Structure 1
Amino acid sequence: MPIFVVERRFADQLEASAERLDGINRINADEGVRWLFSFLSADKRKTYCLYEAPSPEAIRRAAQRADLPADVVTEVSGRLMPDGSPVPIR
């Protein structure tokens, strides 16, 4: 399954409850999307999230249903290690 990085910008600081996150995960499952993890900016207004999904459109549909921004959705195919060696994600 393709891997995507999703950048989200929030107007206010992000404070997500367990209940809210459970709802997001249920919506993602309905769309065939799996949230792997996220990085949260120090000001809690931006996240960088890693997802498995069949397409960018599936991520955008899930985000819209969950009332989340999905400002930039980028497919990634590998990691670059500190020694310069590439490592495929899939």
Structure 2
Amino acid sequence: MPMFVVEREFAEKFDPDEAGLKLIDQYNEDHDITWITSFLSADKKRTYCLYECADIEVLRRHAHDLGIPADEITQVDELAR
């Protein structure tokens, strides 16, 4: 399954509540999106999230449907260690 990094910039600090996180988890499950990990910038206004899903359009719909930014989506082929 292809992997993608989604870069999101928020106007305010990113501080989701438990209900919001559950909504995202359910959406991911319903749309065959696997969240792998996320990184949060020091100012908490930018996230970098790694996902597996069928294609980039799935993640564009994900952002639109959930009302969250997706400033840049990049397909990645492998993880460097």
User: After the TM superposition, which segments of 4 or more aligned residues of structure 1 sit over 2 Å from their partners?
Assistant: none
Give 1 or 2 for the bigger CA radius of gyration.
1
- What do the CA deviations read for 1:9-51 (whole angstroms, capped 9, x no partner)? 0011011112110101111222221111100000000000000
Q: What do you get for the CA RMSD once the two structures are aligned? A: 1.0
1:46 is aligned to 46
Q: Percent identity?
A: 44
Equivalent residue number for residue 70 of structure 2:
70
8 Å contact 1:3–1:77 — kept in the other structure?
yes
How do 1:17-36 and structure 2 match up within 5 A? Answer: 17-36=17-36
Query: What is the TM-score normalised by the length of structure 1?
Result: 0.84
CA apart distance, 1:78 = 1.4
Q: Which runs of 5+ in 1 are unaligned?
A: 82-90
Query: Aligned partners of 2:16 and 2:66: how far apart in 1?
Result: 12
Aligned length: 81
